[in-house]
């Protein structure tokens, strides 16, 4: 009956959340132990961005968040593990939509910076306090302002993103002004 269906939907959703939590936790432990295998090859990031956007579009539409990509004609080809970089894009874009207010916007910038690849995901969310800009990249660290409205996260996504970008010899950081949105940026070497 209807009530049983409702309960089963909740159970399925919560099971998926647990699977994601276990997988994230295993991923991070493996990377911290230096046991994660990366498969590097020269690649264009454009198809990965499109894939991430395609997956996340229904969520953005449901929240009425405008998604936009601003990229150079030919972003630099850099060595990357495409599956892992896709994981970072999913985390950045997913967070940007999650923390952005209804009717807000998320913009992805892709460009070359002295031959390096620079990707930035900018949102119109609540922003992050200065003292937490670095801490949120540590596991289980969540900024109280944004997270008080969204208790559901694991606090592992950005720690995993940091491990992945560092394994590529790249850099990752966040920039924000409280109340003015946030930008999450990574740079991959040529
Ligand atoms: P989760 O989103 O599961 O909590 P993450 O590691 O991806 O874990 O993010 C850690 C914390 O960083 C979040 O809980 C939130 O406090 C903060 N954060 C991440 N992205 C954003 C964003 N776009 N805007 C505001 N805060 C953010």
What pLDDT digit, counting tens, does each position of 116-173 carry? 999 999 999 999 999 999 999 999 878 766 665 555 678 899 999 999 999 999 999 9
Q: Is the pTM higher than 0.85?
A: yes
d(CA 124, CA 155) in angstroms, rounded, equals: 20
User: Of 82-91, 114-123, 148-157, 179-188, which gets the smallest average pLDDT?
Assistant: 148-157
End-to-end CA distance of the chain: 58
Tell me how far the alpha carbon of residue 162 lies from the centroid of ligand 1, in angstroms.
13
Q: Which of 63, 155, 161 to mutate to test the pocket of ligand 1 (most atoms within 8 A of CB)?
A: 155
Structure tokens at 120: 């930035």
d(CA 131, CA 129) in angstroms, rounded, equals: 6
Q: Does residue 142's CB lie within 6 angstroms of at least one atom of ligand 1?
A: yes
pLDDT tens, position by position, 107-130: 999 999 999 999 999 999 999 999
User: Of 32-46, 53-67, 116-130, 144-158, which gets the smallest average pLDDT?
Assistant: 144-158
d(CA 58, CA 41) in angstroms, rounded, equals: 31
CB 90 within 8 A of CB 55: yes
Convert 90-100 to b/e letters by CB count within 10 Å (16 or more is b): bbbbbbbbbbb
Q: Which atom of ligand 1 is nearest to the CA of 145?
A: 16
The mean per-residue pLDDT over the stretch 22-38 comes to 95
């Amino acid at each position: 009956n209807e009530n049983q269906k409702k309960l089963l939907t909740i159970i399925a959703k919560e099971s998926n959340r647990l699977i994601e939590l276990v997988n994230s936790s295993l991923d991070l432990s493996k990377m911290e132990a230096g046991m994660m295998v990366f498969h590097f090859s020269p690649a264009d990031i454009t198809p990965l961005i499109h894939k991430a956007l395609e997956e996340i579009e229904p969520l953005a539409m449901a929240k009425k968040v405008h998604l936009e990509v601003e990229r150079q004609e030919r972003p630099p080809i850099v060595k990357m593990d495409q599956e892992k970089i896709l994981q970072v894009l999913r985390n950045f874009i997913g967070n940007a939509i999650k923390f952005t207010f209804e009717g807000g916007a998320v913009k992805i910038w892709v460009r070359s910076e002295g031959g390096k690849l620079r990707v930035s995901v900018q949102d119109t969310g609540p922003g992050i306090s200065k003292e937490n800009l670095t801490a949120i990249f540590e596991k289980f660290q969540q900024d109280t302002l944004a997270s008080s409205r969204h208790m559901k996260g694991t606090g592992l996504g950005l720690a995993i993103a940091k491990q992945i970008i560092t394994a590529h010899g790249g850099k990752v950081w966040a920039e924000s002004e409280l109340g003015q949105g946030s930008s999450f940026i990574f740079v991959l070497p040529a």
